[in-house]
């Protein structure tokens, strides 16, 4: 695609990487203010010694550097499989093979984790969960099981709101809409369903072509545009389709990657989509133009399994099937030289137009207040210059 060819291919470096990562998420740093220069990266790891199963590292946005492990914890439940940080930033829920725990983040202002005293009995023994997700306001938690069992819980009471055991063959991805009114789910069989959470019922099953397979889904986060983005695999290429949430009609689709998309993320402001492919590439897409603006080639050596934008959308955390995790800084918009020249020319042309409009409008005469009206000549006839100096000229109006 056009958009992709123009993108500069950035070589991956070895910085900001971690190995052994299974799952990960961003978490706020203790005592951080709104525009914090750093945030915590929380990783669930498959550590040989089982001592560093969940780790915290600090990432600095300005310098694009990640610190060594500043805190680690090792719960007895074993390997952490899925993590989700509550939108308030005060805790993280962690699913293990057959159990679930909630950890407080930064308890008492220290950069660490603390197992919460809350038991969460309803969340135990659910089996392996492929995906978990909090709603934007933090009042709901959805889990998608490997067995195709979709559950929605009220948070923090953990009362079950929706329990659908036959939603898909196996759930691949779920996402809440911005207002928590809908939930979208995709399954391994390649279908995508939308659930109405208020009515607690299945709302629609998105239509797909024969050769298409839906992969991952994200609702738009921009309140003015109600869209659902779904990644589509068609002929081994990665597309993203856009659905209108008003009538669930398909608005269009665009090829954004040369390989199947294996992870999808949307920034909190809804301006950027992040995609990861089965070949390990990570791309950032500008939603407004649906164009790849940044491509991080071979970010992982195997397929990308998870993606998450940082809170202010400055960096992207990605996880790979090779157990690697890395943080990539998003490129800021840079003016190109011709754009600057074009801008200057545009400004000149625009101001010229304004002056012309002013000149032709009736405002002009009111402003200049010429004593003799509009047609007063400004330039004398040619002979006046060389003519007799004192002579009067009719054109002078006298």
Partner 1 sequence: MAQLEVLSALDKAKTQWYHFTAIIIAGMGFFTDAYDLFSIPIVTRLLGRIYYYDPLTGKPGSLPANVNAAVNGVALCGTLAGQLFFGWLGDKLGRKKVYGMTLMMMVVSALASGLSFGHTAASVMTTLCFFRFWLGFGIGGDYPLSATIMSEYANTRTRGAFIAAVFAMQGTGILCAGAVGCIVSAIYNHAVPAPPFNVDPVASVPNSADFVWRAILMFGAVPAAATYYYRMKMPETARFTALVAGNAKQAAQDMSSVLQMEVQAIQTRTEKRIEYGLFSAEFFRRHGAHLLGTTSCWFLLDVAFYSQNLFQKDVYTAVGWLPSSSSMSAVQEVFKISRAQSLIALCSTVPGYWVTVFLIDRIGRFKIQLQGFFFMTVFMLGLTIPYDHLKKHNSTGFLVMYALTFFFANFGPNSTTFIVPAELFPARFRSTCHGISAAAGKAGAIIGSFGFLYAAQSPHQAEVEAGYSKGIGIKNALLILAATNACGFFCTFLVPETNQLSLEELSGENDENAQSA
Is the separation of the CB atoms in 337 and 358 below 8 Å? no
Q: Which of 5, 35, 166, 224 binds partner 1 (CB under 8 A)?
A: 35
Q: State how far the alpha carbon of 127 is from the alpha carbons of 56, 58, 97, 241, in Å.
A: 26, 32, 6, 31
DSSP-assigned letters across all residues of 192-223: EEEEETTTTEEEEE----TTEEEEEEEE---T
Is the separation of the CB atoms in 317 and 305 below 8 Å? no
String marking each residue 370-389 x if it binds partner 1 according to CB under 8 A: xxx-xxxxxxxx--xx-x-x
Q: Which of 48, 49, 62, 159 binds partner 1 (CB under 8 A)?
A: 62
Shortest distance in whole angstroms from residue 184 CB to partner 1: 36
Helix (H) or strand (E) holding 154: strand 150-154
108: region left, alpha or beta (phi > 0 left; psi from -120 to 50 alpha)? left
Q: DSSP label at 44?
A: E
Q: Does 350 bind partner 1 (CB under 8 A)?
A: no
Kindly tell me which of 8 and 374 has the beta carbon lying closer to partner 1.
Answer: 374
Q: Does 392 bind partner 1 (CB under 8 A)?
A: yes
d(CA 94, CA 75): 10
d(CA 342, CA 348): 10
Kindly tell me which of 70 and 344 has the beta carbon lying closer to partner 1.
Answer: 344
Is the separation of the CB atoms in 285 and 267 below 8 Å? no
Q: Does 359 bind partner 1 (CB under 8 A)?
A: yes
Q: Which of 17, 46, 64, 147 binds partner 1 (CB under 8 A)?
A: 64
Shortest distance in whole angstroms from residue 294 CB to partner 1: 18
Q: Which of 348, 349, 350, 361 binds partner 1 (CB under 8 A)?
A: 348
Shortest distance in whole angstroms from residue 111 CB to partner 1: 19
Interacting residues with partner 1 (CB under 8 A): 35, 37, 62-64, 335, 337, 340, 344, 348, 351-352, 355, 358-359, 364-365, 367-372, 374-381, 384-385, 387, 389-393, 395-396, 398
């Amino acid at each position: 695609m056009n958009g992709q060819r123009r993108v500069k291919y950035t070589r991956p470096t070895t910085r900001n990487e971690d190995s052994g990562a299974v799952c990960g998420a961003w978490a706020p740093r203790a005592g951080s203010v709104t525009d914090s220069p750093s945030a915590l990266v929380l990783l669930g790891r498959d550590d040989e010694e089982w001592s560093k199963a969940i780790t915290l590292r600090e990432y600095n946005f300005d310098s694009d550097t990640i610190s060594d492990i500043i805190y680690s914890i090792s719960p007895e439940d074993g390997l952490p499989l899925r993590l989700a940080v509550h939108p308030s930033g005060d805790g993280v829920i962690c699913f293990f093979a057959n159990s679930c725990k909630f950890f407080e983040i930064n308890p008492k202002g220290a950069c660490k984790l603390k197992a919460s005293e809350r038991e969460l009995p309803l969340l135990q023994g659910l089996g392996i969960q492929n995906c978990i997700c909090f709603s934007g306001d933090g009042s709901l938690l959805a889990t998608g099981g490997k067995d195709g069992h979709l559950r929605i819980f009220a948070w923090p009471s953990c009362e079950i709101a929706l329990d659908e055991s036959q939603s898909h063959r196996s759930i691949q991805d779920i996402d809440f809409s911005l207002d928590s009114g809908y939930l979208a789910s995709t399954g391994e069989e390649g279908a995508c369903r939308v659930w109405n959470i208020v009515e607690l019922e299945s709302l629609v099953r998105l239509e797909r072509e024969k050769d298409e397979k839906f992969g991952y889904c994200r609702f738009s986060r921009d309140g003015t545009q109600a869209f659902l983005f779904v990644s589509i695999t068609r002929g081994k290429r990665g597309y993203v389709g856009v659905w209108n949430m008003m009538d669930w009609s398909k608005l269009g689709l665009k090829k954004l990657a040369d390989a199947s998309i294996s992870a999808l993320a949307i920034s909190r402001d809804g301006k950027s989509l992040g995609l990861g492919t089965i070949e390990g590439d990570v791309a950032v897409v500008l939603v407004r133009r649906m164009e790849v603006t940044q491509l991080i080639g071979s970010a992982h050596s195997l397929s990308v399994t998870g993606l998450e934008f940082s809170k202010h959308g400055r960096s992207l955390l990605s996880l790979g099937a090779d157990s690697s995790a890395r943080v990539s800084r998003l490129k800021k918009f840079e003016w190109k030289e011709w754009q600057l020249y074009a801008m200057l020319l545009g400004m000149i042309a625009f101001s010229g137009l304004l002056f012309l409009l002013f000149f032709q409008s009736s405002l002009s005469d009111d402003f200049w207040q010429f004593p003799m009206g509009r047609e007063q000549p400004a330039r004398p006839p040619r002979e006046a210059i060389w003519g007799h100096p004192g002579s009067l000229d009719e054109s002078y109006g006298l």
